[in-house]
Amino acid sequence: MNGIIPLWKPKGMTSHDCVNKLRGILQTKRIGHTGTLDPNVEGVLPMTVGKATKLTSFITDHTKTYVAEISLGQQTTTEDNTGDTVSSKEVDPSLTLEDCKHAIDKFKGEIRQIPPMYSAVKVDGMKLYEYAREGLEVERPVRDVTIHSIELATEQFAQYSTNDVRFSFRINCSSGTYVRTLCVDIGSEIGYPAHMTHLIREEAGTFHRDETVTFAELEAAKETEGLESFIQDPGRALTKLPVYVVEDDEIIRFKHGQVLSIPDKLKETDLFRVETEYGELIALYQPHPTKSELMKPYKVLQT
């Protein structure tokens, strides 16, 4: 069993919980997830199976699309609605969605973020949330992320109280972006403490929510021996990369990860996928760093 399952991660489970549950369904240990989602977040989580686990880190680095709900008026310890309130301010009734749009527009492009204390980022061998649980503050590493697009995803505010006024936005961003932190920063730009109240991941790389599968569907398919129908070819996650189609007599050389001559059309690419004429992904290759006429393997799947 080799390939990718575009899972819809439910609320209440960690990404690692999903790995364990899928291991039980598929009866295999070789499974990976392609990007951590917090337990209270639901959405697209591609799972790699078998030899496709070699692509896990690569797929994780792809862009993501989220729909987030932000609450203006309160900031929390965790930057979402699971934490304790640390600051509060009543929202002025004169605030408009247009004001919010102007604020979020300022975050498009490259921005700098400081990861929240309640996150899995490691500092000196410990995860930040481990420090936070002990009541310790440590210096957090600044990271650069890219917001490719950001726009309002609501037509009016949802007001629950004078210090809980919410709206939603959709964001396409680079891997590693903390949407919780973005909500806090957007609130600050508008002039209010803020936190994230809801988050859905709609896209992860080339996978969209419309093509995901739930655990219930997988468990039902297991009963009818139909699990294979939900496992997609690994190349499906790499369709944005250029492709080099090899002839039957060349396949064995790529399966063995040989350094080979590179076609002129691929010399200017950073990375490309190597497939058979039937669309079977064999490997990822890249131009050789020191020998311009050659290419070398990046990842070989068919060994």
- Helix, strand, or coil here: 32? strand
Q: Active-site positions?
A: 38
* Tally of CB atoms within 10 A around 141: 12
SS (H, E, C) 136-191: CCCCCCCEEEEEEEEEECCCCCEEEECCEEEEEEEEEECCCCCHHHHHHHHHHHHC
* Distance between CA atoms of residues 195 and 190, nearest Å: 13
Per-residue DSSP letters for 60-119? HTS-EEEEEEEEESEEESSSBTTS-EEEE-PPPTT--HHHHHHHHHTT-EEEEE---SSS
* Distance between CA atoms of residues 238 and 154, nearest Å: 32
Cβ atoms 115, 140 nearer than 8 A: yes
170-173, Cβ contacts within 8 angstroms, sequence gap of 24 or more: 170/65, 170/66, 170/67, 170/68, 170/202, 171/65, 171/66, 171/67, 171/68, 171/147, 172/63, 172/64, 172/65, 172/147, 172/148, 172/203, 173/63, 173/64, 173/65, 173/66, 173/145, 173/146, 173/147, 173/148
Number of residues that make up the chain? 303
Cβ atoms 119, 178 nearer than 8 A: yes
